[in-house]
Structure 1
């Protein structure tokens, strides 16, 4: 699939992300959007990222725009640094997708680009190089990012805990260790990798789940933490190694911060609706849609989060300044610190929430066009839906906010959604037990495989 620009930026095969294409998108972004007079450039740990970051830097300086090279850094750390300086940023990352793919994420001085900004960028493609020059300087974004959480939560917030850090090829692998230790816990680094591993926090395979449980047992861990490749999505387990989903970490973090308004995609766990927040707004999937909803609540104690765990802080808590981009550290630290302050385990804290459970997984190798045709058929034909969802129960409602989300008797939900910029088809499910949610995902992905080959 040719590189495509969507809600997560530009993504495509590394072989197709040529220096010329990267430069074209970089120029289009920098000439059509506010830069604040400079641009920060960061990258993840994929083998292709340094080459692409160099192409971004060259295109920016060619426009006469000063560049601050951050090098390998978490996306939220890059955003924190660039927004603090009032300048734009470009992050070179493919997030959780395989190493043969990569991409670009664009940031304005005030945060992530909007859908309107995307249109401006694509409309500016093809601009001729300028032939200018500008200075390049280097900057380490890690210390300020670590200090943000160490200062906010205190140096004994996690005292007495032993926390495993699944490092793999996460660009935050050393930062996670630093934060855990800064908060008073003992960090146990695990499985550092020299090769890129595409960890998807929404679709963790059975072998990885078993590995996490074994680590907890072998090392006596209170939790394991990790992230996807560019560290804007968290992965957290309890002391048994069971993963705490992102849409559980989200409302727990919101509670810990004193938030009143929640903005979250339609795919997120409905338990949040019963947790006493003043308002819960549902959006399409993707941080630009969450941010757009948060913008309508300016001046309120508003936060956003996604089912993948990325958390967006939209107000000043008194300890933390706003950071309206997906962050992985905050939804790791806040629930663990909240549980510790109450003398509870993380699992005990999770158990205080309404008993609703979600699961998600995906099929790779399904082109979006194929997925869209299938969903159109399902949407238009109730008998087609009934045949596909046989054995679940009577249909009680459909939601077309993003993909096809169908509710059934027994308060069960199955949500089908193709990726907008990767050859993936995702299935989300919600039920009254974790095993039943997993069963729904497995059964419907198997049916999707049969339907779509």
Structure 2
């Protein structure tokens, strides 16, 4: 007897499950990412990009829920008559680079940096990360689900993807370029912990493993936990490292600390990486440190909404206009290369998705070549310092309601911040609410695209002041939430 099938719309699944697209990929609570939901999203992706034959690369991070989600993705791939090219647990940029090199689609099961009880799926076409237009197509799709067999046994590993990714850096960076450096590697549950360790040692560094755990740790490189701040300083004091490094869960965002164990902000890492590569055009988000513009190193600077698809769209626009030396990054440190970069007779291939390894390597090599501590690299930039943090369990719709009210009323902004941070001079609503104050400081509120959180970014002339701005701004927004709840 023929098994019954049924048609479902992704829009209806979004409403029923809460699994939907955020700043990058489809994400939701693990409990809601059922085999049906994950099968349907993958089927819709393949339908939108028109994949009818050949292979589809599939990989996972180290979250315990990722293999089961991957099994549903594999079933959807096979149902379409395609072959699963299973790459195992590798970094998201490694999966993307493998797919790009093979000219095939890719599916990455990862929740990146978001809390443990959540997960996600990122989709890649043969040329890189899918666009917001592709996401809209998937969201509008109707797919056919089988009555059973919504999961498949994952096939044997394709091991070439990790090697290909490592070779990208070994071919660009000189042999022994890190010789003499003593590095601490905070491994936690990063999917790059084996691969990055191998790469650093192959380039000559001494690498000391720190903090490895089998329990998943959601490292957010834009809002580093105070425990991780203090731990890095203790490690630096105990071991005398030249640097401490780490990544988020799927290794598309770097976390790089100097010889003192102080974590560098991701946007500073991005600016320094772009300088080291000799970039001519840089795309970053509206929330990026204004040192990007003020440093004068880049003939072209373009700012976008927050999220790698928007940065990619900005890169593509510059490439279409004939720009060369095009790169992009986000304030979380994730770095994208839009056009081939040549330096000292070596060429770095483009990779149109966030990557953690490239900025880590660029800054380490730069410090070694200059014979200076890592902390000295940022001193050549204009003295602008940023901080960020978030309020968790802050409903997205409530965030939008509060921010819309503030954007419509300068007196409301001044009532919120004026006695502490000065009066508003201008606002930018490109993504959330970015407030330029009359004393030159910036406070930026934005609902997270991945979870019910309100993020706050601040910029000032000292690190201490920017941290105080974030803490006080979020305290006052928490009071706003309480008042809305009572209304």
TM-score bracket for the superposition, by shorter chain length? over 0.9
Q: C-alpha offsets along residues 317-341 of structure 1, whole Å, 9 cap, x if unaligned? A: 1321101110000011101101211
More moved, 387-396 vs 88-97:
387-396
Distance 2:142 2:255 in 1: 36
Quick one: which of 195, 199, 202 aligns to 2:222? 202
The aligned runs of 1:162-177 (5 Å cut-off) are 162-177=182-197
Equivalent residue for 2:14? Answer: none
Q: CA deviation at 1:13?
A: 0.7
Counterparts of 1:7-18 in structure 2, within 5 Å, are 7-18=23-34
Using structure 1 for the length normalisation, give the TM-score: 0.97
Q: What are the residue-to-residue correspondences of 1:126-141 with 2, within 5 Å?
A: 126-129=143-146, 136=155, 138-140=157-159, 141=161
For 1:89 and 1:129, the matched residues in 2 are separated by 22
1:342 aligns to 2:370 (yes or no): yes
Which of 240, 261, 274 lines up with 1:254 in the alignment?
A: 274
Q: 1 CA distance for matches of 2:68 and 2:39?
A: 12
Find the aligned partners of 1:393 and 1:222 in 2 and give their Cα distance.
39
Specify the alignment match of 2:439 in structure 1: 410
Aligned to 1:161: 181
Whole-angstrom CA distance in 1 between matches of 2:430 and 2:455: 15
The Cα offsets for residues 273-315 of structure 1, whole Å up to 9 and x where unpaired, read as 1222101101000000000010111141110000000000011
Cα distance between partner residues in 1 of 2:361 and 2:154: 37
Change (3 A) 1:211 1:134: closer
**Match of 1:294?**
315
Of 137-146 and 213-222, more deviation after overlay is shown by 137-146
Cα distance change, pair 34–184 in 1 and its aligned pair in 2 (3 A): farther
Separation (CA, whole Å) in 2 of partners of 1:134 and 1:74: 21
Residue number in structure 1 paired with 2:340: 316
CA distance in 2: counterparts of 1:249 and 1:130, whole angstroms:
49
| d(CA) in 1 for partners of 2:80, 2:69 | 17
Give, in angstroms, the shift of residue 130 of structure 1: 11
Q: Which moved more, 1:199-208 or 1:132-141?
A: 132-141
Instruction: State the distance in 1 between where 2:278 and 2:371 align.
Output: 19
* Matches of 1:68 and 1:443, distance apart in 2: 49
Equivalent residue in structure 2 for 1:121, among 113, 135, 138 = 138
Q: Any conservation in 2 of the 1:61–1:134 contact (CA below 8 Å)?
A: no
Question: Alpha-carbon deviations, 1:57-81, whole Å to 9, x = none?
Answer: 0111011011100111100000011
Superposition TM-score, scaled by structure 2 size: 0.90
Whether the aligned pair in 2 keeps the contact of 1:34 and 1:108 (CA below 8 Å) is no
Q: Is the aligned partner of 1:76 residue 2:89? A: no
Q: Give the Å deviation of 1:356.
A: 0.6
Q: Is the 8 A contact 1:62 1:131 kept in 2?
A: no
Match for residue 422 of structure 1 among 429, 448, 451:
451
* Contact residue 262 and residue 277 of structure 1 kept, 8 A: yes
1:273-422 to 2 correspondence within 5 Å? 273-275=293-295, 276-298=297-319, 299=322, 300-318=324-342, 319-390=347-418, 391-422=420-451
Pairwise CA distance, 1:150: 2.2
Aligned-partner Cα distance in 2 for 1:34–1:306:
30
Counterpart-to-counterpart distance in 2, 1:421 and 1:231: 17
- Do 2:74 and 2:154's aligned partners in 1 also have CA atoms closer than 8 Å? no
- Distance in 2 between residues matched to 1:134 and 1:102, nearest whole Å: 20
What are the superposed Cα offsets for residues 381-416 of structure 1, whole Å, 9 maximum, x if unpaired? 221111111221121110111000001122100000
4+ residue stretches of structure 1 with deviation over 6 A? 130-135
Output the CA distance in 1 between the equivalents of 2:188 and 2:250: 12
1:136-176 deviations in whole A, cap 9, x for unaligned? Answer: 55312222222221221122211111111000001011112
**Within the alignment, does 1:147 sit opposite 2:167 as a pair?**
yes
Q: Distance in 2 between matches of 1:407 and 1:351?
A: 24
In 1, Cα distance between equivalents of 2:457 and 2:124: 29
| C-alpha deviation, 1:34, in angstroms | 4.1
What displacement does 1:127 show?
A: 3.0
**Deviation per residue, 1:248-277 (Å, 9 max, x gap):** 111111111111001000000010112221
- C-alpha distance in structure 1 between counterparts of 2:206 and 2:50, whole Å: 43
Structure 2 equivalent of residue 448 of structure 1: 477
Greater shift after overlay, 2-11 or 49-58? 2-11
> For the Cα contact (< 8 Å) 2:417–2:423, is it kept in 1?
no
Check the 8 A contact 1:34/1:88 in 2, yes or no: no
**Residue 433 (1) aligns with residue 462 (2):** yes
Which residue is 2:257 aligned to? 237
Give 1:135 deviation, angstroms: 11
Secondary structure at the counterpart of residue 426 of structure 2: strand
- Please tell me whether residue 112 in structure 1 is matched to residue 129 in structure 2: yes
